[in-house]
Amino acid sequence: MDDMVGMDSMDGMTRAIGFLELNSIAKGIEAADAMLKAAQVEMYLATPACPGKYVALISGGLDAVQCALSAGIACGGEYVIDDLVLPNVAEQVFPAIVGTPEIEHIGAIGVIESLSIASLIVAANAASAAAEVQLVEIRLGSGIGGKSYVTITGAASDVEAAVASGVAAIQKTGNILTFTVIAKPHEDLGKILI
């Protein structure tokens, strides 16, 4: 453990996300272990996802995340189907992924749906940075056929700008499935989303 890369080794308090997706649950668990052993990172998510995949999401300093992800990729080998390092992640991305954002009021609602977990994280981060919005939830592939989506709330114009930015960030990947903005949602829908 003495030679592990620290959480803030290169860039102070900058937080990065590392994401690894494999098409083997057994190899996914082994790769998650390798990632944790390679560097001082925090495991935000390590779980099976539809259809029969395994995803691991880590955070920490950029150097540590890159080191851990490299170890996971090496361990996963031919079973790795996607990976991502995203530096300077917006703080509200983390609670939205683990389902703990503090949302007091639902305004307009925006939803971006993607075919790829990694691209959805990129879209959510871009949306969060584009306008004064709150991320309500980031659902990453589990129980929804491997698709992913982010739900966003705020003033209608801000939600429209955030959704447009999130979609633009992943448009070229071909993974955008659909998106919508509901300017004035029914109050019961808001209660369901919180």
Spatial CA neighbour of 37 closest among 13, 73, 72: 72
- Model pTM score: 0.83
Whether 25 maps to a domain, the answer reads yes
Same-domain pairing of 123 and 55: no
Note the helical H segments in 25-107.
Answer: 25-38, 62-76, 93-98
Total domains, the chain: 2
Domain that holds residue 34: 16-86
The answer, yes or no, to whether residue 9 has pLDDT greater than 80, is: no
Q: Which of 29, 60, 86 is the last residue of a domain?
A: 86
CATH number at residue 68: 3.30.70.1710
Whether 11 maps to a domain, the answer reads no
Whether 8 maps to a domain, the answer reads no
Same-domain pairing of 136 and 105: yes
Alpha carbon 176 to its chain centroid, in Å, reads 15
**pLDDT tens column, 16-54:** 999 999 999 999 999 999 999 999 999 988 999 888 899
**Weakest mean pLDDT among 44-53, 66-75, 154-163, 165-174:** 44-53
